Structure 1
Amino acid sequence: MSRPSLSPIAEVFACTVGQKPSKAKYYLDDTGEITRMLQGLASASDQATWNPSPHVPL
């Protein structure tokens, strides 16, 4: 069974890298932080996909 590449429910997080001030809500210092953030998001996404919510309608 294949997984869709994009979730039907998407969120957008505006961020700026290496410069302030910005209207972005989030700030990352450098490309290393970008890599760690993307890896963390991918990991959380994989866990959510493979561990569905325990709430089952009765």
Structure 2
Amino acid sequence: MAEYSSDNLRIKLAEALNTVIYGNESVTVTRYGKPVAMLVRIDTDQRADSTDEHE
């Protein structure tokens, strides 16, 4: 699992997203060394359901 500090994530957001999308890997976001958030890939079926709700 990849890990980015919140400061570093601002600079490398595209890299982090590519890790999630193409590397099928979760990304943990840390602040002051503690995990505070996680980027995870959403299954295609879930994305389709989510899109339908916003229309």
TM bin (shorter chain): under 0.3
Task: Give the TM-score of the pair, scaled to structure 2.
Answer: 0.26
Select the structure of larger CA radius of gyration: 1
Task: Give the TM-score of the pair, scaled to structure 1.
Answer: 0.25
Q: Between the two structures, name the one with larger relative contact order (CA 8 Å, sep ≥ 6).
A: 2
Q: Is the strand fraction higher in 1 or 2?
A: 2
Q: Is the helix fraction higher in 1 or 2?
A: 2
